A and B are shown apart, each in its own frame.
Chain A
């Protein structure tokens, strides 16, 4: 027997989820091409957190690396999920928007520059409330400009997942890559339980959570594009594929009529079975049909 059959591939696989936000970003760029912009040594921190006795982070939880992916110009914007839940504040939001706008500027000038968003985030940082919310609106606007020129690729790998206002950023992206561990939704289970009661959503029911928000479900129902293993190589390969693919013919968030009809066809008398939506909405593998 050769060594490769003695050591299963999953043992050799390097976990992407175990990496912090910076390492994740670095792992996606072509070797030797990543340069961090407005990094920790530039010390542009949140002015609002210290006022509330919360220790800031020198990069405000948003890491921007400019470089190349599959030889093409790209910028990777990575949210550090371990800092304040990856939440968006004045500075982290501004860094994200600025990077997107600069990629758009370059793209308009003839250098198509893709953006990869690593979204581990609960949405707005409560301690910055309205500045976080305003920043998210601006991020969405900036994605919409960039995606006209170059692909905007969102990766949600977990463990934080992508919730709150930033789920709209995923929604307007050109492509979304998820792992099984990852979750994507507007409201997390705790928030639903809090606002609408435990009958509506039991936040302790892990099976339910992944059945609704999990990567396998989102990809299965066509709301995300690719399901990757928790593997640096696999995720980086998926990102490269989408960078090379360029912008899609139509973006998911533009397919209003199709989704409107799908919603109209739902039986709302009871809860919706997630697996049924995979059957009804899932991407068809023959020619034509929805993305």
Chain B
């Protein structure tokens, strides 16, 4: 797992939208732009580091109160704007993700960051539920509460196949401390136990990813990479439009049938028993 730099989000946001500015009223950490995704105009959203944040615990790429409510605001704006449009015309929402974590701060806890995070997840999910294709593109780090807030409610998730991409519940150092192992022990454990791995290729085995993308330079988007990523996002949008508005595709994927057997068994048995309960 490589160090979080917080640079990839902005780089890819700019590469895919030509823009890298927050909207008026939004914090400097949230980038929002309307740009082409395939043949359609889509809303792109990204959370980036903002060293000038008024919240001291949100200055290097964490998702905090302002970020969560800004994401929710822009998403709900898109939902409202397209409310009367038929589903095929509801704009896609593309979340570009490279977030260090959720914000770990007293101000955040006091002011209810759990609700802010919930409001953002709610907004993304609500968009998906009424027919907006919601696509997540993980270009760097996607941890825990940060990912639950920004990206994990998507119809389709794409990630770069790269050592700088990590999707996980807790950073290695913290996880090592809590489980009283060394970081290298944890990494070794991850090779045997796929859900614990910090390697995105192991994450792919869990079946939640739509696609792993190979790009030549994830830090500095080159033209051929940009074209490929744009196409992959467009394909994901098309695929999302053909599927359901729930997250059922995750547990039913071929990979999930291998790695989430116990969960699938629990689900099947509950359905059977519910009928006669």
Contact = CB atoms under 8 A, between A and B. Distances in A.
Query: Taking the complex as a whole, does A directly touch B, i.e. does some CB pair lie under 8 Å apart?
Result: yes
A172 B69 contact: no
Nearest to A147: B122
Given A64-B270, A172-B121, A137 B195 contact: no
Interface string A81-119: 000000000110111011100100000000000000000
Interface stretch (A9-17, A20-28, A233-241, A260-268): A260-268
Contacts of B122: 144, 171-172, 251, 253-254
A247 interface: no
Contact of B274 (A51, A102, A169, A274): A102
B interface bracket (residues with beta carbon within 8 Å of A): 35 or more
A231 B186 CA distance: 43
25 contacts: A37-B269, A45-B262, A48-B195, A52-B193, A90-B195, A94-B262, A126-B196, A130-B167, A130-B195, A131-B263, A132-B169, A132-B195, A134-B152, A137-B121, A137-B152, A144-B129, A145-B129, A167-B117, A201-B109, A223-B114, A259-B119, A263-B65, A263-B69, A263-B111, A272-B110
B169 A124 contact: yes
A130 B196 contact: yes
Contact of A94 (B65, B148, B174, B266): B266
Contact of B168 (A129, A164, A271): A129
Interface stretch (B11-19, B44-52, B99-107): B99-107
A35 B265 contact: no
Given A90-B263, A140-B148, A38 B104 contact: no
Max chain A Cβ within 10 angstroms of own Cβ: one of B57, B101, B189: B57
Interface in B139-191: 144-145, 147-149, 152-153, 167-170, 174-175, 177-179, 189
B223 interface: no
A3 interface: no
Given A38-B270, A185-B109, A131 B123 contact: no
B113 interface: yes
Interface of B: 54-57, 65-66, 69-70, 72-73, 76, 101-102, 104-119, 121-123, 125-126, 129, 144-145, 147-149, 152-153, 167-170, 174-175, 177-179, 189, 192-197, 203, 206, 208, 246-247, 250-251, 259-267, 269-271, 273-274, 277
A109 to B, nearest CB: 12
- Category for how many chain A residues contact B: 35 or more
A217 to B, nearest CB: 9
Contacts of A133: 144, 147-148, 152, 168-169
A122 B117 CA distance: 16
Contacts of A140: 118, 121, 125, 148, 153
B260 A187 contact: no
A278 to B, nearest CB: 11
A28 to B, nearest CB: 16
A254 B122 CA distance: 7
Contacts of B152: 133-134, 137
